[in-house]
């Protein structure tokens, strides 16, 4: 795959270890859900290394007062793409428990593989915050492209997109459509099959999170 300045692929041994268990068809729904949360927390830690709004705060230690930089929960909005993105929300909330959550509901048309947007509810003032858009799977990239455009249409200027598994064609599509958005992917898989599923992937993330199959 071509290299893009706005794409980061973590390939971190600890995250890859957890993804290996996530992929296993024998992994239970409970364990799957827990792993998605844990991986998301690790991804959030890595992806917030740069371009994050901080404010100065005076902190009095037992010895003296110093100026520190803190990240306020309210400067961040978590935006899951339904359904599977919901499984990642707690993984970000562990770090920012008071961050507000916006929801974008999208469903891929099984024939065209293009997403239909059926729901959008975002917190007021999101345009001045860092929007962390989350979805475990970045396949054709259609859902991510449309969700990012929706956030931009609402005025968002600082958007990060995090996906656990990416397919090269989808990552390229999002990277080219939205060069101003940083895309964080834990691991890059081989390709898509004829039904738009990532190979080797982990199957349908929504079904595995919520037990719908």
Residues 12, 14, 16, 18: is their CA dihedral positive or negative?
A: negative
Structure tokens at 8: 């980061």
Q: Does 204 bind ligand URA (CB under 6 A)?
A: yes
Each residue 128-157 as x (binds ligand URA by CB under 6 A) or -, in order, gives ---------x-x------------------
Q: Does 87 bind ligand URA (CB under 6 A)?
A: no
- Residues 61-80 binding ligand URA (CB under 6 A) are none
Given ligand URA, ligand PRP, none, residue 185, with its beta carbon under 5 to 8 Å by kind, binds none
Q: Does 104 bind ligand PRP (CB under 6 A)?
A: no
- Residues 137-156 binding ligand PRP (CB under 6 A) are 137-144
When binding is defined by CB under 6 A, the residue of 170, 178, 201, 202 that contacts ligand PRP is 170
Phi, psi angles (nearest 5°) of residue 16? -60, -35
When binding is defined by CB under 6 A, the residue of 36, 81, 132, 133 that contacts ligand PRP is 81
Q: Does 197 bind ligand URA (CB under 6 A)?
A: yes
Stretch of residues binding ligand PRP (CB under 6 A), selected from 5-13, 123-131, 132-140, 153-161: 132-140
Given ligand URA, ligand PRP, none, residue 209, with its beta carbon under 5 to 8 Å by kind, binds none
Each residue 162-191 as x (binds ligand URA by CB under 6 A) or -, in order, gives ------------------------------
d(CA 30, CA 22): 11
3-state SS, one letter per residue, for the chain:
CCCCCCEEECCCHHHHHHHHHHHCCCCCHHHHHHHHHHHHHHHHHHHCCCCCCCEEEEEECCCCEEEEEECCHHHEEEEEEECCCHHHHHHHHCCCCCCEECEEEEEECCCCCCEEEEEEECCCCHHHCEEEEECCEECCCHHHHHHHHHHHHCCCCEEEEEEEEECHHHHHHHHHHCCCCEEEEEEECCEECCCCCEECCCCCHHHHHHCCC
Given ligand PRP, ligand URA, none, residue 156, with its beta carbon under 5 to 8 Å by kind, binds none
Residues in touch with ligand URA (CB under 6 A): 84, 137, 139, 196-198, 201, 204-206
């Amino acid at each position: 795959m071509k290299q893009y300045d706005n794409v980061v692929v973590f390939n971190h041994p600890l995250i890859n270890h957890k993804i290996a268990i996530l992929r296993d068809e024998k992994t239970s729904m409970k364990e799957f859900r827990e792993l998605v949360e844990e991986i998301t927390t690790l991804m959030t830690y890595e992806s917030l290394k740069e371009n994050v709004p901080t404010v100065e705060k005076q902190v009095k230690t037992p010895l003296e007062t110093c100026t520190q930089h803190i990240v306020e929960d309210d400067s961040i909005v978590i935006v899951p793409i339904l359904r599977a993105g919901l499984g990642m929300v707690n993984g970000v909330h562990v770090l920012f428990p008071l961050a507000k959550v916006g929801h974008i509901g999208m469903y891929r048309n099984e024939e065209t593989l293009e997403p239909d947007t059926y729901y959008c509810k975002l917190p007021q003032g999101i345009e001045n915050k860092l929007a962390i858009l989350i979805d475990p799977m970045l396949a054709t990239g259609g859902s991510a492209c449309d969700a990012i455009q929706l956030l931009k249409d609402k005025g968002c200027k600082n958007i990060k997109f995090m996906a656990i598994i990416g397919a090269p064609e989808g990552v390229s599509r999002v990277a080219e459509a939205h060069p101003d958005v940083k895309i964080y992917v834990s691991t890059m898989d081989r390709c898509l099959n004829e039904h738009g599923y990532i190979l080797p992937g982990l199957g349908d993330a929504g079904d595995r999170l919520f037990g719908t199959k």
